[in-house]
Each structure stands twice: as C-alpha cells, then as structure tokens.
Amino acid sequence: MSRQHAFALRRLLLFVAALVATLGAHALSADDLRLVPAAPLAWGSLAALTVLAGRPRGPAWRRRSAPEILVRLTALQAVLHCAITAAPWAFGLGVHHRPALLTPVALIAHGVAAVVLTALLARAERLLSLAQAVARAVRAALAPAPVRGRHHALALVDARRAPGGPAPRRVRARGPPVLAG
C-alpha cells in the first residue's frame, strides 16, 4: 500500500466514523429525524470529497496515537454536528423543525461513540502501518538485485572521427509540416 493510499484511507475512515457518530447522536436526540431517499448518495459524495481533498503531509507515515485520534474525531464530530444542525438537507436528512444545537443526550451519544470509534480507528492505524510494511517488504523482495562490476563506461567518441554531414534539423511536434524546398 502506498503512502498516498494509506493517507486517503485514513481520512476516509476518520470521516465515516465521525459521520456515523454524528448521525447516531442526531437520531437519538431528535424526535423528527428522517432520512431522505438520496441520503446514501449524499454520504458517499461527502466521503469521496474527503478522500480526494487531502494530500499526504510530512515526509513519511506516522501512526497516530489513540489520544490524538480521539481529539481529531471529537473535533470532526463537533464540526459535523454543527453542519447537520444548520443544513440537514446536505446530509440527506429531513427535519421538520430545527433541533437544539446541543442536548445532554447528544453530548453523551457523541462521547460514547468517540471512545468506541477511537478504539476501532487505532486498530485501523495499526493495520495500515502493517499493510505499508508488507508492501515495502514485497517491493524489496521483487526488486532486481543490482549487478556490480559488469557495466563498463561508454567509450568516448573523438570529435575528429565523428561522421560528417549536416547536423540533423530539429523536428517540431506541433504545427504544419515544413515545406520542402
């Protein structure tokens, strides 16, 4: 697995975990929450944008610790919670009236989901690190061994012995053909 794929998968897993936790908290705390038929399309589109939006930062892959994952997951849940409260239609939800921004039930649901999902995401981080190590080992095993001592330096061509004649013209790759004349 390449570093770019590992980073993209990490972003996807974090977003999906935060979205599931936020939707679950909204389902527990809102009485009139209903999904519209296009909800899976909205979620898939948001997930695809999440994967495509980022790029690897830093020189190499670094496995995140559980507290770091918990902080990131909690922050992302807070952002998604505010976004779902402000624009539920963007997440495929139909709400008849605007629910309260934060209720005790939603707060508890977000907290429990964050702790449970942090454990799962920490395990996924370990698996991503393992997948990259396996890919590096396979690449190293399949790479041809360098051959030493068998290559000789190319012989230099003496300019006085070079074939004569006009220098070849530069061939253009674009535009109309040059008129022969």
pLDDT in tens, 102-161: 777 777 877 888 888 888 888 888 888 888 888 888 888 888 777 676 555 555 555 555
Q: What are the backbone dihedrals phi and psi of residue 80, each rounded to the nearest 5 degrees, phi first?
A: -65, -35
Q: What is the pLDDT of residue 162?
A: 56
- Separation between Cα atoms, residue 81 and residue 79, nearest integer Å: 5
Domain housing 132 = 3-142
Model-level pTM?
A: 0.65
* Cβ neighbours for 140, distance < 8 A, ≥ 6 positions apart: none
- Separation between Cα atoms, residue 96 and residue 27, nearest integer Å: 14
45's tokens = 């589109």
- Whether 87 is covered by a domain: the verdict is yes
Residue 171 scores a pLDDT above 80? no
Overall domain count for the chain: 1
List 94's β-bridge partners, or say none. 34
pLDDT in tens, 28-69: 776 667 888 888 888 888 888 888 887 766 667 778 888 888
C-beta of residue 19 within 8 angstroms of C-beta of residue 43:
yes
- Whether 41 is covered by a domain: the verdict is yes
- Whether 163 is covered by a domain: the verdict is no
Q: What is the pLDDT of residue 169?
A: 61
Q: What is the pLDDT of residue 56?
A: 64
